[in-house]
Structure 1
């Protein structure tokens, strides 16, 4: 898939316009984002991603469109892991709710720039070394096993990463927020505020998650343009998803297992692809192995199916546990009233 330079520039321009519209409309007057507002923005960004995918289908064909949608859905689902960490970071820095949207916007723009660099490096590595698919595949399977055992880590305490610590050590930082400002002037001297630090924390934290999400999407498409745009649309809708889901995230109790299954599936797909394109001399004398390749259509079915089953079963279990807890509380209250009446009698 040869993407002309003007298509890249037009796509980047369109993404910047979307971000500018979001920034002007939502941050023109800082406020706490409501669930309804977040829901409308999530629907808007999903619609934009769908429209983009339809455009890919019209101009490049169904195969590339399928790769985009599979990559987009995978990146969006894996980004839920980011939301847990974002919540922890927001809490650790005590970010006022009226400014959380701005923090997420700037942090995610930083993450998008860094992911773009990561994607470029990954694309070059894949073109030069086909055996890197073996490494990507094994790493994803390892990550899947780890995720299934440890979960998403939402209960972990936040510890500032090296970049945030360096910024705190090098830059003069105020001890409180100054509205939504990242930089302020006090007595003629410039200071950065905690708002600046939390933006760095959000952006760099997201880059750590790219360590598994970027190999995962390269397992679905090797087209840098599709890899970048799938990441861009997933990240742009992520901050609105943060406000929309809120406490619902903790109800998705089986989400780690679902994401682990997806990562393991893509990891196996990558290994099969590496074997199909094998060039390592110590494997089959450097010749490709006659193994089946997993189609993008089947990949899309597996990804959507796993996410749907995971969500439904999680919500069912949460509701069942809630009903049991409510029943337990009622039983305890009934027993307490009976004990009181017995004493009074």
Structure 2
């Protein structure tokens, strides 16, 4: 009988593991107690400050791996952290789509996001240990991971339709019965004498299921950079911490990151090729080179770090300097303002309603003033026009 694989890196003591886990759990508890427990919409300043602090904690931890870890550990950590952080930005975009689809009130979105982060962290750590066990016993898994990343890269380059529902959203809406309206922050409510889930609970289910789909490219990607379980776990965990603040910080910027899918596709394709080269170097499959290792080049982690950083830099600069990206940012702002106005309840102060409506009208005028060449790239144009029509009708009714 085969002995179970040893997934604990010999250079990491149980004490270090324990302290690291305590740090991660402590940061999550701090986030909940001081920010999420009381429903509110974070300000731009609040999101910026806390996003910076979480990145600073991750960087300090990385410096610690450089100073006290084994040779190359710090480089592996930073390469893994940057890759996972970039992938998490793409995840934030999908979270935005889900939140919009379920019309989640802004003040409750923090709770949904924190649940998604915790679920994702627990699920990914489980998948990390499963992946580490497979890689230790079966070298051919590197081929599988590499091909999975190449397929995912190709999928990112596929034009997306206007239908943003993923398979998790479709299944949840079909099989899980929920109440028609939100009931504060409650996850369950009573409607027509029946106990059922609220839409808030349904969103959490969808976010959790979607996180599992994200892990299918996230976990192989970081294993393509390092097989050190401690580095994989910590880089993944610190990339997810602060994701809630990042969501509120860049919900406008995401629409300007026009070329982000191309950048992520290039990164995943690069790591996929690196995994396949490593698999060839460690080959033991009998139908490839008669089961002997293939003499191919291997890409170092340092090279990977530079390549990933360069791809992200080019992607961000190209996106932010693009006229199309600026136009999409205006449209995203208009959509959000229209949604916020429609979400106002009858108890909203007239002055606040007028102020928000004035911002909505100004944003609409900016979009209308765009060249037709840019306006034709507006996604879901009919849906946007319908939303604006409802907002104008609501304002006309409230002004009577």
The two structures have a TM-score, normalised by structure 1, of 0.86
Give 1:211's aligned residue.
216
CA distance change for structure 1 residues 66 and 177 in 2, over 3 Å: closer, same or farther? same
Pair 1:310-2:319 in alignment = no
Give 2:107's aligned residue.
98
What per-residue deviation string (whole Å, max 9, x for no partner) do you get for residues 299-336 of structure 1?
A: 000001100011001111137875xx98994999xxxx
Give 1:10's aligned residue.
19
Which residue of the other structure, out of 255, 264, 268, is the alignment partner of 1:250? 255
- Relative contact order, higher structure (CA 8 A, sep 6+): 1
Q: Matches of residues 25-104 of structure 1 in structure 2 within 5 Å?
A: 25-104=34-113
Cα distance between partner residues in 2 of 1:19 and 1:281: 47
Cα distance between partner residues in 1 of 2:174 and 2:371: 55
Structure 2 alignment gaps of length 5 or more: 1-8, 331-365, 373-400
CA distance change for structure 1 residues 227 and 320 in 2, over 3 Å: closer, same or farther? closer
Give 1:287's aligned residue.
292
CA distance change for structure 1 residues 297 and 93 in 2, over 3 Å: closer, same or farther? same
Structure 1 alignment gaps of length 5 or more: 333-345
Cα distance between partner residues in 1 of 2:266 and 2:284: 28
Q: Is the 8 A contact 1:92 1:158 kept in 2?
A: no
CA distance change for structure 1 residues 289 and 56 in 2, over 3 Å: closer, same or farther? same
What is the CA-CA distance between 1:157 and the residue it aligns to? 3.6
The two structures have a TM-score, normalised by structure 2, of 0.75
CA distance change for structure 1 residues 284 and 48 in 2, over 3 Å: closer, same or farther? same
Cα distance between partner residues in 2 of 1:131 and 1:160: 30
Q: Matches of residues 1-345 of structure 1 in structure 2 within 5 Å?
A: 1-2=9-10, 3-150=12-159, 156-157=164-165, 160-161=168-169, 164=172, 168-169=176-177, 173-184=178-189, 191-318=196-323, 322=327, 329=369
Cα distance between partner residues in 2 of 1:165 and 1:311: 35
Q: Is the 8 A contact 2:319 2:325 kept in 1?
A: no
What is the CA-CA distance between 1:124 and the residue it aligns to? 0.9
What per-residue deviation string (whole Å, max 9, x for no partner) do you get for residues 268-314 of structure 1?
A: 11011111111112222222122111111110000011000110011
Q: Is the 8 A contact 2:120 2:211 kept in 1?
A: yes
> What is the aligned-residue RMSD (CA, Å)?
2.8
Cα distance between partner residues in 2 of 1:329 and 1:166: 41
Deviates further, 126-135 or 76-85: 76-85
- In terms of fraction of residues, the more helix-rich structure is 1
